[in-house]
């Protein structure tokens, strides 16, 4: 039982959410922009230090035909980097349709569009949590 951080990996932006195994729920935290096409490791380190998660969950992109999406190898690499840097268990979760659902949650609010990736991370984390209950 504890805290988890979820990640919606992208080459330009990474959405991050925090969740609880006790409640099975998650909340969007933030979206980080890449620095020279690399994750903002300093900010990720700050989040891990602050939240003290017991594990991390990274979205694994799939196409609708059940094949891994083109970006999937990069998401897997990001997951391996997280595991190596922070020595925490890292789980992969199917992130199919999470961006579409996140767009629906946002509606037409352009101001909130920056929250899209963080909401997708929340959905990834909630999917992973619900599969374990």
Which position has the higher pLDDT, 132 or 79?
Answer: 79
Helix (H, G, I), strand (E, B) or coil at 117: helix
- What is the pTM assigned to this prediction? 0.86
Specify the 3-state DSSP secondary structure of 27: strand
Condensed to tens digits (0 to 9), the pLDDT of residues 112-124 reads: 556 778 888 999 9
Residue 46 to residues 66, 70, 74: CA-CA distances in angstroms? 35, 30, 22
- Residues 39-72 have pLDDT tens digits of 999 999 999 999 999 999 999 988 778 788 888 9
Domains of the chain: which residue ranges?
A: 3-132
User: In the structure encoding, which two tokens stand for residue 24, read together?
Assistant: 């099975």
User: Could you tell me which CATH class the domain 3-132 is placed in?
Assistant: alpha beta
């Amino acid at each position: 039982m504890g805290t988890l951080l979820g990640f919606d990996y992208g080459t330009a932006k990474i959405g991050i959410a925090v969740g609880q195994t006790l409640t099975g729920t998650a909340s969007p935290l933030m979206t980080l922009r890449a620095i020279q096409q690399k994750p903002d490791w300093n900010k990720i380190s700050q989040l891990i230090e602050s939240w003290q998660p017991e594990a991390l969950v990274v979205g694994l992109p799939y196409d609708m035909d059940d094949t891994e999406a083109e970006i999937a190898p990069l998401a897997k690499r990001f997951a391996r980097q997280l595991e190596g840097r922070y020595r925490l268990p890292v789980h992969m979760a199917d992130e199919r349709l999470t961006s579409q659902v996140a767009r629906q949650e946002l509606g037409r609010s352009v101001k909130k569009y920056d929250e899209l990736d963080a909401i997708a991370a929340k959905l990834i984390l909630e999917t992973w949590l619900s599969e374990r209950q």
